[in-house]
Structure 1
Amino acid sequence: MKQTTHTKQPKTARKMLNTALLTTGLALSASANAFTIISFGGASGDAMQEAFFTPFADKNDVSVTAGDYNGEFARIRAMVETGNISWDVVEVESPELARGCFEGLFVPIDWDRLGIQDQVIPEAVTECGVGIMVWSTVLAYDADRLPRAPENWVDFWNVAEFPGMRGLRRGAKYTLEAALMADGVPADEVYDVLATSEGVDRAFAKLDELQAHIQWWEAGAQPPQWLVAGDVVMSSAYNGRIAAAQEEGRNLQITWNGSVYDLDYWTIVEGSKHVDTAYDFIKMASQADTQSVYSSNIPYGPVNPDAIALLSDKQAAQMPTHANNLEGALAMNTEFWVDHGEELEQRFNAWASQ
């Protein structure tokens, strides 16, 4: 950095500068000592703030720094590889959980120490992650702009009967599944087909048909924003984000048929200096009362079954885990995406950049 030519400063100026430096140093120190939790933000992050972050900080007199990201796995890997750990607990999707556990990026969970294994659903219990909630990628639409409700991904691809732009997540995951279902593959056969080179070609050929009508989203907040603004008439979306827009009086609706559901997980980043605090936080966030507060603010299914009894019938009916919403739904195949995700994402990125 270029040096200033001034060799002296007035006493008052020096005092002000010293005070500013001290304040900055204290702020940096506090930031370094803060317990940092990273989520996907948006409406879900707001619900987590009310249900988890603020109550935990207040009850335990802990300084909690809440941040968000878009699932950039490379950022976590870079932290661990360089030893520059600035995140403690991170929300991840199941394929990234499996990949990060294999690479040693996450602290293996000591379930005896956590003491909640018998309180949560079996899918929430993994080697390196603790389930947070069950969520779905659904077909969402603007009911004011369509002649009728789309019934499935076949209708999503039908631009003749449903004219207008569509929103899809910019990535292979969830998008290739939708493409195959749009091409007539039953939900329970999607991963068998996608595991073949012919099936992958078939999915990309189906995307070719719609490419001119696609607006790609990268953040979960974008689909409801685009639907409300009229930028798209339909979009894949996280069910909770659409519910949040509905609460604001927007006439956005969900087609559950063909939805892809999965869990998100809390992980502790390897090298965190706040592992004890992380265990305390995850245990608190997994209790029925805190889970019910979260799910009452955004309709993602609680992993603690006792939380369902604390929700209203209306709230329970909005959960991805409700029996009606599971009809025609597809469970995310984590093993498939761990095995094939990297190559499929590379092919998707090459295709999308054409």
Structure 2
Amino acid sequence: MRKADKEGPKAMTGSITTYTEDLVEIGEHRVRKGELDRRSFLAAVAAMGLAPAALTPATAATGELVLVNFGGVAAKEYKKSFGPGCERATGLKLVVDGSGASPAKIRAMVDAGSVVWDVCDYAPQIGIQLGGKYLEEIDYSIVDKQKLLPGFALQYGCAAYVFSFIMAYNKQMVPEPPRGWADFWDLKRFPGKRAMFKTPIGQLEAALLAAGVEPDKLYPLNLDLALGKIKDLKSEIIWWETGAQSQQLLRDREVTMGNVWHSRATVMRNETRGNIDFTFNQGVLVVGGWAIPKGNPAGRANANKFIAAAQDPKAQLSIYLSLFNGPANLQTIELVPEDKRVLNPSDPANLKLQAISNPRYWGENSAAIQDRWLDAIS
């Protein structure tokens, strides 16, 4: 019996996975199934900056650039696929730290004057929280704004990819394809359990869209309304904490619909030949990318050169074709094969259907929201 079964149908248990950690798991799954060759996989995760999970925190040395992320592939293979590109751009050897960057770690390093990281995997709200005291500004004389989706060239971070929270559903369990979050909340027309991520971002926006709030009017979030909608549905929600859990809930028919990452929904759509499908309509688009800690050892210029190199359209195309996350580089979007564009969250046809997550709002309000969120779902 799974742990979730022991503790009831409303919650999954364990550590909550980040989107970037889940991308590595998806890639490894596709390699095992023979859908993706290992070389393409390694090139994709390298361009994403996904680091080996087993590494301990790295210490910068002369002639090195240290990249920190949340783990994934073996160090030797990672360096083989991405190290040469780093050296061409900066003249520095790439060192990967898989220990994970958090705001607390960045603050501690900068305050102590002992920064060992040069580039960090970046959530835009962290850039808002840490600002100029703890992060370097992105130098857009080096990093090309024209290669980024509008609005994603941020002061203290640069977009590298985008992903979406979308509504996935099992076709055999619904009378017709649901069209939006109002259908997700409609238990009469669409009976059955729902899967939702056990963090507020992407879930509160969905609740407000279900309540009829227009996508461009979401922020500031009406927390009373959003949390009220969550409470209305809570008895039918199974909370997922990892991408694999969200996928299993839908495949095992434990839920009729789920608010899940588009990358996981794409895997399910492909593997079930469309029996599990999803829509970008009213999806919530989120940006991920890079940040530079204040006083990074390799210097601000080299960190920016690394980020600029990561904008390479061919590398971003490889990421999308391998791991399904959306390119942030406009030139890459134009290179996506016609038959693959329907599943790309940053394709113009899909982009116009979605709400865009507001990093400034989340950066300024996430702590207060988290307290209310935990009260609402407990």
Determine if the TM-score, normalized by the shorter chain, exceeds 0.5. yes
Work out whether residues 243 and 298 of structure 1, in 8 Å CA contact, stay in contact via their aligned partners in 2.
no
Change (3 A) 1:124 1:189: closer
Q: Distance in 1 between matches of 2:292 and 2:134?
A: 9
1:239-280 Cα shifts (integer Å, max 9, x gaps): 123223434446431121211113212112234323465334
- Residue 209 of structure 1 deviates from its aligned partner by 0.9
Equivalent position SS for 2:324: coil
Number of residue pairs aligned between Structure 1 and Structure 2: 313
The answer for the alignment partner of 2:6 in structure 1 is: none
Q: Distance in 2 between matches of 1:77 and 1:203?
A: 32
Equivalent position SS for 1:144: helix
Structure 1 segments (4+ residues) deviating >6 Å: 27-30
1:72-91 Cα shifts (integer Å, max 9, x gaps): 54444344445564544222
The amino acid of 2:119's aligned partner reads V
Change (3 A) 1:183 1:31: closer
Change (3 A) 1:270 1:215: farther
**Pairing 1:200–2:226 present:** no
Equivalent position SS for 1:95: helix
Which one is further off, 163-172 or 32-41? 32-41
Change (3 A) 1:158 1:249: same
1:107-146 Cα shifts (integer Å, max 9, x gaps): 222222x252343334232222111122211111223333
Change (3 A) 1:76 1:31: closer
- Residue 35 of structure 1 deviates from its aligned partner by 4.7
Equivalent residues in 2 for 1:218-229, closer than 5 Å = 218-229=241-252
1:168-227 Cα shifts (integer Å, max 9, x gaps): 2222322211112222223233225x3xxxx32222211111111112233444322332
The amino acid of 2:246's aligned partner reads P
The amino acid of 1:214's aligned partner reads I
Work out whether residues 124 and 265 of structure 1, in 8 Å CA contact, stay in contact via their aligned partners in 2.
no
The answer for the alignment partner of 2:363 in structure 1 is: 338
Equivalent residues in 2 for 1:1-354, closer than 5 Å = 31-33=58-60, 35-39=65-69, 54-59=80-85, 60=87, 62-65=93-96, 67=98, 72-82=102-112, 85=115, 87-102=117-132, 104-112=133-141, 114-191=142-219, 194=221, 199-249=222-272, 251-275=275-299, 278-353=303-378
Change (3 A) 1:84 1:166: farther
Q: Distance in 1 between matches of 2:210 and 2:349?
A: 21
The amino acid of 1:93's aligned partner reads A
Work out whether residues 169 and 276 of structure 2, in 8 Å CA contact, stay in contact via their aligned partners in 1.
yes
Bigger radius of gyration: 1
Could you tell me the percent identity over the aligned residues?
29
Change (3 A) 1:227 1:39: farther
